[in-house]
Amino acid sequence: MSKSLYLPEGYQPVLDLRETQHAIKYVKDMFQQTLSFALTLDRVSAPLIVTKGSGINDDLNGVERKVEFTIKEIDNKEAEVVQSLAKWKRMALYRYGYKSGEGIYTDMNAIRRDDDTDNMHSIFVDQWDWEKVITREQRNIAFLQETVKNIVKAIVFTKRKVNLRYPQFKTTLKEDVYFITTQELEDSYPDKTPKEREALIAKEYGTVFVMQIGGKLKSGEKHDGRAPDYDDWNLNGDLLFWDEVLQTAIEISSMGIRVDETSLQNQLAEANALDRNQYDYHKMITNCTLPLTIGGGIGQSRLCMLLLEKAHIGEVQSSIWNEDMIAQCAEHGITLL
């Protein structure tokens, strides 16, 4: 059994398999409509694959192996399955001519072959990726927090609608967001790991946005890894909710105001990644061709887990799991799709 697999005692899913499939569609339809209205976003199509060496794929923490293959039709050119669309979205806003206050969202599917699987992690990633053009004056904490609050309102509204449709659900979500920086979190719980800190603060406040992820803290450690070339590490964060079923924090969204020409170079230097300046994407930020943006990803299966009160992400998405995990889950009333 996975060391990080949590098996809630006496767990029984509220909905059966067929009802769960209906509810998943309801959650996804309701939330994306609400999010689109709240943030003024158009739905667009997005790639599953990009060419290797384009600089568009997300490098995540820089160590994860991408899924790669060659394309017979194009002289065996190498391609990669995306790990996220953080860079592609900003390029799309430029290509499609979006202006300040306008944005896009898309269904993003990815494969992260090196992720460790547990209740909340799968090698298959599905999320709503969104991106919006902003002004230079909006590159500040206040605008970031305002955007977070709008996303939380959309999530809480969707949960209310789910509870009305399925009155057997009893849990609710807090709409008030508690904002805290990673340094403040470390100062509050210096003897805890980052994940332990997140669980403690989420249990206390219910809905939390942990800000400023990517750089080193006073301890010399990072709260979590972030690629140096999309989020501004001073203007980003993770949105957490307290999950009653799992009795821990569940991260629903990672988001932030994106790098400008200055923060890009500072972060590339800190990450020893100045060689990325060779790519068109990075050049277009440095010469201010690409628009200034804010954006993020909102986990589709994670949101379904939270709103439908599930114990494992495999209850709301089809993926691949090791046989031991499948058996252990079955013994504890958790049926993986």
Residues known to be catalytic: 58, 112, 127, 238, 251, 254
Are residues 198 and 210 in contact, defined by beta-carbon separation less than 8 angstroms?
yes
* 149 Cβ contact list (under 8 Å, min separation 6): 177
Total number of residues shown for the chain: 337
Distance separating alpha carbons of residues 14 and 214, to the nearest angstrom: 38
In the structure encoding, which two tokens stand for residue 257, read together?
């105001």
Residue 55 CA: distances (Å) to CA of 20, 91, 95? 39, 11, 16
Are residues 129 and 46 in contact, defined by beta-carbon separation less than 8 angstroms?
yes
Distance separating alpha carbons of residues 111 and 50, to the nearest angstrom: 13
Picking from 273, 255, 286, 254, the residue whose alpha carbon sits closest to that of residue 62 is 273
In the structure encoding, which two tokens stand for residue 122, read together?
């799968």
Amino acid 226 reads: R
Sign of CA dihedral 189, 61, 202, 15: negative
* 291 Cβ contact list (under 8 Å, min separation 6): 90, 93, 94, 98, 100, 133, 134
